[in-house]
Structure 1
Amino acid sequence: MALRARSQRRGIPLRAVLPNAITALALCSGLTGVRFAIAEDWERAVLMIMLAAALDGIDGQIARMMHGESKFGAELDSLSDAISFGVAPALILYLWSLMVVPRLGWIIALLFAVFCALRLARFNSQIDSEQPRKLAGYLTGIPAPAGAALAMLPLYVWLWSGEELARSPWIVTPWVAFVGLLMVSSLATYSWKSLRLRRNVRFEALVGLAILLAALVTAPWQTLTVVSVAYLVTLPFSVRAYRRSGRVASG
């Protein structure tokens, strides 16, 4: 009892607070994207979602580095993802395009947000169980940040081309529904956390990363378009690679 009382007086250690603060900041970034969308500031709306994705990518790394992992942090991360990569992109796309067909557009926006939540719920329910795909370096369905980024592909195209066809709800509606289905699908997709670079290509990888960052700064919308299309292209390869790995293991 005395040890418990002393630990409560000391409070929560900084190593547990910092990762959760970054997760909360990601949530705030996603919601701020909605605020910019209401003001029809589409560029900043997209940038806020991208910032949320970047913060989501580092909060877990920082938690592991500082030994600050916790069940609370995992739950907060899922709630943040549901809002930043499900609700916020759905509202941004609705305000940008889907509200032209309000009934159908709202249904699609709702489905995207719900599918994102379902994907995260499935992921959380499997954390404590053995996951053959995760052990093999794969995910089930596309992750929530990738889903948010892919869903906004027509918006990227519109921002750099000005082509109103990209804003058509008859294009955006099926596209958003398709990306939502990818999130809840059973497709085996690459897990970037499991990728390991060979020593002889690390320098080339750094050069490629520098080029990508430079492209994002100078031509963000064109670069996001290319990256989104490139990610889509990897999906058939990830499915085939996982099937091959299963055949090799069984053989």
Structure 2
Amino acid sequence: MSQKIVKASKKINVSSSLESEDISLETTVPTDDISSSEERDGKIKITRQLIERKELLHNIQLLKIELSQKNMMIDNLKVDYLTKIEELEEKLNDALHQKQLLTLRLDSQLTFQQKDARKYQELMKQEMETILLRQKQLEETNRQLREKAGDIRRNLHDFELTEEQYMKLKGFPEDQLSIPEYVSMRFYELMDPLKKEISELQVKKNNLSEELTENKGQLKQLTEE
């Protein structure tokens, strides 16, 4: 029993001594070291903040420069676009002016052509009226000529004489003959030789046709032999 009590007392003393050592360690840390570490931490924090602020300011400055460059590019593009718009407006105005000139020229030419067309139509109308009038006159003249030709044919038929009638009229003096009788005699004197010649030619034609037929027959016989 006495040994157990001694061992227990020893354990209590050891643990108490350890606790006292821990307390002494905690209490023996110097205050100067603590303050210096806090100052270092504070300085580090301030330095980081300054660096971050400088980086932020630098980034802002870069963004401002980039924004300024983009604004300059936009301004240049605006100037280019405005210049192109002005050029296009000038071209459009020129085109509109040319269109107006062409329209005026075409209107003038159209008016001139319309006047010429009206004049040409008037001339054609007058010519057609003249042609129609001339056609009517020619048709009337042709009708009259046909009537006269019919009268002449009828008169010529009336002027035809037989040989007996001719010999009878020829026995009278010419001053005792009427105009139709005189014309009939002259017509007979002109036509009778022609009629005789036509008769003779007809006889010759018939004779030649007969000879031709005979010659063809003889030629055929010779070729068959």
TM-score range for the pair, normalised by the shorter chain length: under 0.3
TM-score w.r.t. length of structure 2:
0.18
TM-score w.r.t. length of structure 1:
0.17
Structure of greater Rg: 2
Q: Which structure has more RCO (C-alpha within 8 Å, separation ≥ 6)?
A: 1
